[in-house]
Amino acid sequence: MANPLYDTLLGVHQGSDASFLHLQDGTTWSYDDFLRKVAQFAHAITAEGVVAGDRIAAQIEKSPEALALYGACVQAGVVFLPLNTGYTVDELSYFIENSGAKLVLCDAANLDELTPVAAKYGARIATLNSDGSGTLSDAAGAMSDQFDTVERRADDLAAFLYTSGTTGRSKGAMLTQNNLLSNAQTLAEYWQFTSDDVLLHALPIFHTHGLFVATNVVLASGGAMIFLPKFNLDVMIDRLPQATTLMGVPTFYTRLLGDERFTRDLTKHMRLFVSGSAPLLAETHVAFEARTGHRILERYGMTETNMNTSNPYDGERRAGTVGFPLPGIELKITDPATGETLPQGEIGQIEVRGPNVFKGYWQMPEKTAEELRADGFFITGDLGQIDADGYVQIVGRDKDLIISGGYNIYPKEIELILDDQPGVLESAVIGVPHPDFGETVLGLIVPQKGATPDLDAIAAQASTSLARFKHPRKLLLIDELPRNTMGKVQKNVLRQTYADMFQVTSA
């Protein structure tokens, strides 16, 4: 193929009048409508001097035009760099400089702030607004709706995604055409997507979940999307009857469960609910199944790899696990110190290998060598275990491991006990500095609405369920846990907030 990603996911739909995007205002774009817009945007970005292999940095709101920009980058062979709409100018400066972006796209409201940043690093700048307007749209509107697809190889770069940067500067994960294409095809088959599916899409598209999982899977299967700007509970409930599938983060499901309109009857026609990007509480699994009769399918992926594992479509979807390695993907649990594979059931670092695994970190050869082994296995930084039935369980991040008095403590083990106590909505366990033990365990508890958990009773229960060295030194009630855009708990923020909890002050 001249351009595997474009030809397989996009070009195959050329001329199709099948529905692709159902928008919130009631309008619909067919596949052919979308591909004509993609071609116009491809002309517009190349008119800005961008050529195959160059990077485009885009901090823009979700819209069908924003999605067409992604398609245009694929068709023109340009490396697409979507950026979180919550990033500050200082953060954007780093991404623009580090990526060497030739073109920066932003909302018109941010143009004045970002123009000098783009100029400083030799990039051109254009606008694309949430309503589809902007200087790039204006330019595209005057262009031909046919574009000669640029030839690319399977191992050519298609996208950059920057990691969250919780332990230093963000790293640009280089994703190839085959990384994205192979994963989309695998997921579409594994989750049994067809052209009859309609995905309720309320995720952001600056993240792998909303763009490279949700969108690419629909493109691979020829289905349609109800394409919403963001999660809105009323709109979600209103549009559910027109959908067959939903991909969301745990917050989607807890908010739906919190509304009495969300019933078994409302979801009876649905085929599949998928959750990811953050752990789903076991109680959410149970409550969701009791309410709807559906069992949420939880999977596991990351910026550098897209999706690695999934609970089965046919078979037991086991709460507290992320299922099995996807077809074509190898997963093993290794000793962090030696890299040796551990016996089944033991906790260690998760390593994965497959066509989904990224090419490396942009301009960081040393970091790439640290995390991407010569044999192709990627050290994910996640800690996990494989149970007796082969299900993979995530127990936390390697950097979240607590070492107290020489003992390794896995926060997830303690959190499961805290979450199960009366009046507890959720919890987070972190390690904080301690003068005697190096680190000690701090438990942070978010109460259920209207409840006041008995911290002494919870501590007593923990003491009977856990070895002494795992006991939380202290339990605190807090209003909420800090989370990033995709719903992941930011334990680095908690560690900073409570770093002085056990600090010894001199007289």
Cβ 212 vs Cβ 81: under 8 Å: no
With a CB cutoff of 8 Å and minimum separation 6, the contacts of 287 are 257
- At 326, the amino acid letter reads L
Q: How far apart are CA 166 and CA 169, in angstroms?
A: 8
- At 43, the amino acid letter reads H
For residue 352, give Cα distances in angstroms to 331, 347, 379, 386, 407: 4, 15, 7, 13, 27
Q: How far apart are the first and last CA of the chain?
A: 74
> pLDDT truncated to tens, each residue of the chain (507 aa)?
599 999 999 999 999 999 999 999 999 999 999 999 999 999 999 999 999 999 999 999 999 999 999 999 999 999 999 998 888 888 899 999 999 999 999 999 999 999 999 999 999 999 999 999 999 999 999 999 999 999 999 999 999 999 865 445 789 999 999 999 999 999 999 999 999 999 999 999 998 999 999 999 999 999 999 999 999 999 999 999 999 999 998 889 989 999 999 999 999 999 999 998 877 888 889 999 999 999 999 999 999 999 999 999 999 999 989 999 999 999 999 998 899 999 999 999 999 999 999 999 999 999 999 999 999 999 998 999 999 999 999 987 777 878 786 677 878 889 988 999 999 999 999 988 877 677 889 999 999 999 999 999 999 998 888 878 889 999 999 999 998 776 788 888 998 899 888 865 433
Q: Tokens standing for 496?
A: 């900073």
Alpha helices, DSSP H, located in 110-162: 111-120, 135-141
> What does residue 425 show for φ and ψ, rounded to 5 degrees?
-80, -50
Q: How far apart are CA 394 and CA 187, in angstroms?
A: 20
Q: How far apart are CA 304 and CA 207, in angstroms?
A: 11
- Whole-angstrom Cα Rg for the chain: 23
With a CB cutoff of 8 Å and minimum separation 6, the contacts of 67 are 21, 34, 205, 215, 227
For residue 391, give Cα distances in angstroms to 165, 297, 344: 29, 13, 11
Q: How far apart are CA 378 and CA 376, in angstroms?
A: 6
**Burial class (CB within 10 angstroms; exposed 0-12, middle 13-18, buried 19+) of 142:** exposed
Q: How far apart are CA 157 and CA 80, in angstroms?
A: 9
